[in-house]
Chain A
Amino acid sequence: MAALEELERAYEKARRDKKFQARLDELLKTYAGRPTPLFFARRLTEKLGGAKIYLKREDLLHTGAHKINNCLGQGLLVERMGKHRVIAETGAGQHGVATATVCALLGFECVVYMGTEDMRRQELNVFRIRLLGAEVRGVSSGSCTLKDAINEAMRDWVTNVRTTHYLLGSVLGAHPYPTMVRDFHRVIGREARAQILRVEGKLPTAIIACVGGGSNSIGIFYDFLNDKKVQLIGVEAGGRGEALGDHAARFRGGSPGVLQGTYSYVLQDSGGQIALTHSVSAGLDYPSIGPEHAALRDSGRAEYVPASDAEALEATTLLARTEGIIPALESAHAVAEVIKRAPRMKKSEIVIVNVSGRGDKDVGILRENLKLD
């Protein structure tokens, strides 16, 4: 609790400090590559024959995904708090890579916890993290995925709390994490809103983003929350079936519960034990969801739908072949939803899809599943 309070104070102070914001903006611009383009996907739009589809290109950021936005923000906070050791969890490895990158940039010691199942399926990112000078610690408890990596990171944090900052990578965990991580990703929606108004002169009908913990989606949703006519659509991992254990669609099979300091929808059994999850994408393979998404869903402001493993794989191929963009398997879930939805919409309508990351890390899984050789 003391560390959370310290973090909350440091964050509240930094948030109002112009120097902090200026330094963060500068790094986002010159190091991470912001602003990211909003790209009109002409061939995909024509193929689907409905709404105009724009892609928010977070995949073009340094390290290959939106995760760097939050890592730079928290990295600068670590400097201010005078800590020198940073730990993080990672699922798909994107947050691990982004954390290791920022630690190299700012000169912190870095340890990344990763489930052994995820290390296997995201081998390339494990190597990248090590190349960046960070240590990867495999976690072989539970489902050997993201949830277990968070457990282990939390154990490390409570043990080394005096010297260590836990750079949590999603809008999860205890306060102030969900708020702080959201704020660092708000830039996605702020840019997208200005960009679409500039190009189209009007707001989109819908925004679509994938939801694991929910950082990229809350980031792009947030600045549209008051534009009541803009539909916000989160896409969860539908996995390989509807039975508990076969998916990570918290709003389809979950119920309110507490996991890792967050009260939200949780996939669990009748005795309150947390369920195992499955998704082809390591980054969506998590049994709970950011609490702000739970609130948006309950209030009806946002809508959440699942996309299956098969649909995500198909969407990856389609986007690669119509636009020359290979999305991360996580982001491919959002693409899968636009494939279903755009044809039912009018040509005058606009949809923005957040391509939160690029698919380079997934070539191994794609190769196994798509059998193109």
Chain B
Amino acid sequence: MPLTFYKKPALVAYVTCGDPDLAITREIVLAAIDAGADVVELGVPFSDPVADGPVIQRASERALKHGTSLAQVLTLAAEVRQKAQSTGLIIFSYLNPILRMGMEKFCKVARAAGVDGALVTDLPVEEAGEYRSAMKEYDLAPVFLAAPTSPDERLCRIAEASRGFVYAVSRTGVTGQRQQLAEDARKLVKRLRRVTKLPIALGFGISTAAQFAEVGEFADAVVVGSAIVEMVERNRGREAAAVGEFIRGLTAVSPQLSVTVL
């Protein structure tokens, strides 16, 4: 059960695959796991990342310049799985590359690669029937995004459709770092707790050790994305080392308790 959070708060680390290239992404992912990431989201670069802020947009552009594809990301996942058996691996993608590959084929290849689940940013739960059955058939966990503006009945639908964990979006808007954690975040997690027993990971805008600790007080896991991608951008030539150090720094001040998994 790699999609299990063994620590509280657990760390979900996002990387844009292919930035600066796939070989370095592999090193970055392994360094992140070594530094304590419980789950890694392998981001598939997309030409029109409407849910992302400038940092991930730039990383996606760099990755696409040399043609990084969903198929290559799945190959990368298989390589990572060889090295890391107990870390959760999630494919984080926009819908179109998956549609182009074919939903069924995507699930089949992902399963064979040892992937645990997927998060499709621009596929709302209301339109996800076909996706959910394909994911189920291949025993993959679909993770859906819950937003602060989602009404309770929608939170229910999202929780029911999600496996592994529910991804709570800390605020309205796109990915990217913020000085302060929005008040929205705490409220959303509280509302989700009422409708689900699944662990809740909170993401969007979290980049500091203080924020990590703060989120750890009320969520089960913290998703860190843009801050990691920015480390990659700023540390040419020593990307993996920089990401490893960053993650250690992030989790250093907060006591990550071991969780007994029944």
Contact (Cβ within 8 A) B96 A259: yes
**Closest approach, in angstroms, between the C-beta of B126 and any C-beta of chain A?**
7
Taking the closest CB of chain B, its distance from the CB of A146, in whole angstroms, is: 12
> Is B77 in contact with chain A by the CB < 8 A criterion?
no
Tell me, rounded to whole Å, the shortest Cβ–Cβ distance linking B201 to chain A. Answer: 19
Contacts of A260 in B (CB 8 A): 48, 50
Q: Does A1 contact B (CB under 8 A)?
A: yes
In the complex, residue of chain A having the shortest beta-carbon distance to the beta carbon of B61: A141
Task: State the main secondary structure of chain A at its contact with B.
Answer: mixed
B173 lies within 8 A of chain A by Cβ: yes
Is A272 a contact of B51 with CB atoms below 8 Å?
no
Q: How distant is the Cα of A231 from the Cα of B123 in the complex, in angstroms?
A: 36
In the complex, A276→B232 CA distance in Å? 27
Q: Out of B50, B71, B150, which one reaches A151, CB within 8 Å?
A: B50
Asked whether B147 is an interface residue with its Cβ less than 8 Å from the other chain, the reply is: yes
Task: Let me know if B149 is at the binding interface, CB within 8 A.
Answer: yes
Task: List chain A residues, Cβ under 8 A from B98.
Answer: 272
- The answer for the CA separation of A142 and B57 in the assembled complex, in Å, is 10
* Contact A259 to B100, CB < 8 A, known contacts A1-B126, A1-B150, A271-B69: no
A258 and B61 CA atoms in complex are apart in Å by: 19
**B95 nearest in chain A by CB position:** A258
On chain B, the residues within 8 Å of A261 by CB distance are 122
Known: A2-B147, A3-B149. A158 touches B97 (CB 8 A): no
Q: Are A272 and B101 CB-contacts (below 8 A) given A1-B124, A155-B174, A266-B96?
A: yes
**Chain B binding surface SS class:** loop
Tell yes or no: B86 within 8 A of A by CB.
Answer: no
Interface size on B, residues (CB 8 A): 33
Q: What chain B residues lie within 8 Å of A154 (beta carbons)?
A: 50
Residues of B within 8 A of A257 (CB): 96, 99-100
Among candidates A142, A162, A258, residue contacting B172 with C-beta atoms closer than 8 Å: A162
A141 to B57, CA, bound (A): 9
| Pick from B48, B53, B99: contact of A142, CB under 8 Å | B48
Task: Give the distance in Å from the alpha carbon of A158 to the alpha carbon of B124 in the complex.
Answer: 14
Is A161 a contact partner of B149 (Cβ separation < 8 A)?
yes
A162 touches B173 (CB 8 A): no
Q: In whole angstroms, how far apart are the Cα atoms of A155 and B9 in the complex?
A: 29
Q: Is A268 an interface residue (CB 8 A)?
A: yes
- 1/0 contact string of A265-283 vs chain B (CB within 8 Å): 0101011111000000000
> Is A57 part of the contact surface with B, judged by Cβ < 8 Å?
no
CB pair A158–B99 under 8 Å, yes or no, is no
- Contact among B70, B96, B101 with A274 in the assembled complex (CB-CB below 8 Å): B96
Q: How far is the CA of A266 from the CA of B95 in the complex (A)?
A: 13
Number of chain A residues close to chain B: CB under 8 A: 28
Contacts of B95 in A (CB 8 A): 258
Residues of A within 8 A of B48 (CB): 142, 147-148, 151, 259-260, 274
CA distance A142 to B49 in the complex (A): 10
Which of chain B's residues have a CB closer than 8 A to the CB of A258?
94-96, 99, 122
Pairwise interchain contact B173-A158, C-beta atoms closer than 8 A = yes
Q: A151-B50, A258-B122 are in contact. Are A2 and B99 (CB under 8 A)?
A: no
Give chain B residues whose Cβ lies under 8 Å from the Cβ of A272: 70, 96-101
Determine if A30 is an interface residue (Cβ-Cβ < 8 Å).
no
- Contacting residues, chain A, for B173 (C-beta < 8 A): 155, 158-159
Interface positions of B from 126 to 169, Cβ below 8 Å from A: 126, 147, 149-151, 154
Known A258-B96, A271-B69, A272-B98; judge A2-B47 contact (CB<8 A): no
Chain A nearest CB: distance from B175 CB in Å?
10
Check: B46 CB closer than 8 A to any chain A CB.
Answer: yes
List residues of A (1-38) whose CB comes within 8 Å of B's CBs: 1-3
How far, in angstroms, from A159 to B148 measured CA to CA in the complex?
11
> Does any Cβ of B come within 8 Å of A322's Cβ?
no
Which of A3, A155, A257, A274 has most B Cβ within 10 Å? A155
- Chain A proximity mask over B36-69: 1 for CB below 8 Å, otherwise 0: 0000000000111111010001000100100101
Interchain nearest-CB distance for A291 vs B (Å): 13
Q: B69 contacts A2, CB within 8 Å? A: no
Residue of B nearest to A272 (CB): B100
> Is A176 interfacial (CB 8 A cutoff)?
no
Q: Which residues of B contact A245 (CB under 8 A)?
A: none
Q: Nearest Cβ distance between residue A115 and chain B, in whole angstroms? A: 13
Chain A residues in contact with chain B, CB under 8 A?
Answer: 1-3, 141-142, 147-148, 151, 154-155, 158-162, 256-261, 266, 268, 270-274
A-B contact pairs, 15 of them (CB 8 A): A1-B150, A141-B57, A141-B61, A148-B48, A151-B48, A155-B53, A158-B172, A161-B172, A258-B122, A270-B100, A271-B97, A272-B70, A272-B98, A273-B46, A274-B47
Q: Which 4 A-B pairs have CB atoms at the shortest separation, nearest pair first?
A: A272-B100, A159-B173, A272-B97, A271-B69
| 13 extra A-B contacts, CB within 8 A, seeds A161-B172, A273-B96 | A1-B147, A1-B150, A141-B61, A148-B48, A154-B50, A159-B174, A162-B172, A260-B48, A260-B50, A268-B100, A271-B71, A271-B97, A272-B100
